[in-house]
């Protein structure tokens, strides 16, 4: 395992200097799940949740969260994101799978942006449906894939 880079030689937190790194195309994909009562999923699919279209609001929340990752995670670099896709897929009888794909041409990766997208999208589903199902479970969230940069390609084992 490589050395942690967010601490200096005195143990103080620091933002890693990426100025000398090569700009490459970088991609990260992450997933998360929201498990709920089957009746809750049916309400979502029938567009009968009073707060609105749950899947579209959660998709938008995930996209917006991607752009705000550096505001939420203290040592993340602000990035000019090239593209974000957030896909919410209902899985019967009571689960929604969330996948985000984030792309950038930059000096640092977008793993945290992809993980933030799927996490905030899941939290949005919870928020919109908590009036009918407070027992929803979020997770597990995980990185599925990352590419670009000198550490190379990572693909999660299923």
Give the residue numbers annotated as catalytic, written as ranges: 127
Contacts of residue 28, Cβ cutoff 8 Å, sequence gap at least 6: 101, 102, 109, 110, 111, 113, 114, 115, 143, 145, 146
- Residues 127 and 46: their CA atoms lie apart, in Å, by 18
Burial of 140 (0-12, 13-18, 19+ CB in 10 A): exposed
Q: What DSSP state is assigned to residue 83?
A: E
What is the greatest pairwise CA distance in the chain?
56
């Amino acid at each position: 395992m490589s050395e942690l880079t967010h601490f200096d030689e005195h143990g103080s937190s620091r933002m890693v200097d990426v100025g000398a790194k090569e700009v490459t195309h970088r991609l990260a994909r992450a997933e998360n799940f929201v498990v709920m009562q089957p009746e809750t999923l049916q309400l979502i699919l029938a567009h009968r949740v009073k707060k609105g279209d749950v899947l579209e609001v959660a998709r938008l929340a995930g996209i917006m969260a991607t752009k705000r990752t550096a505001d939420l995670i203290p040592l993340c670099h602000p990035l000019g994101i090239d593209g974000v896709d957030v896909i919410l897929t209902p899985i019967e009888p009571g689960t929604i799978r969330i996948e985000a794909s984030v792309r950038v041409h930059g000096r640092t990766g977008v793993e945290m942006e992809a993980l933030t997208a799927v996490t905030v999208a899941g939290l949005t589903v919870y928020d919109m449906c908590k009036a009918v199902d407070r027992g929803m479970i979020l997770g597990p969230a995980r990185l599925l894939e990352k590419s670009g940069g000198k550490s190379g390609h990572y693909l999660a084992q299923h």
